[in-house]
Structure 1
């Protein structure tokens, strides 16, 4: 059953779908295997890059502890929410 038939519970009647819907082989097994191997290589390279970045960040980070009464400076930037928070501020 085609995705269209599953979704709309009837056959597709457009000029695009003149052929009978049935099982087809979209790509040969060689293409699928080659693509799978390339995806595996890409994942390994991404993992290596992420590990390098994590190692770099972990080596540079330091634990900062604050005590009650310590003065700190906070940098605050305006935040624009997607729910129209700025519009609410303008009205009030």
Structure 2
């Protein structure tokens, strides 16, 4: 059974499908033009059907509106438990700016390193951050940290 017939339950009636495999005929511009026109019509019909089905599905879907205090079910994917208990930080210790973003402050400079690139040497600092869960050490360039957080270099 041909794939088209298996999908749609009838034989393919397009001009290009009517040619038998054993017949050696060249397809002229007229046949190619007819085939292209039929394919355009099929695409248009499929688009109309898709739009109809989408509009039907959109009517059944309710818009989500939540109020303060509503109960909401949140689906969470579980991660592999490593045995470490996460650090719980009280909200009073967190710094939040006017755009409701968490402001993270560097704590102390742990170490200094120098990275050799192709044409220059870059000074790096290993900084321990406050308020970060998990790995709270970051390597950053000395100049960037000095320009943004000069107060952590007072002791150094």
TM-score by length of 1: 0.47
Instruction: Point out which structure has higher relative CO (alpha carbons under 8 A, 6+ apart).
Output: 1
- Structure having the larger proportion of residues in helix: 1
- Structure having the larger proportion of residues in strand: 2
Larger Rg: 2
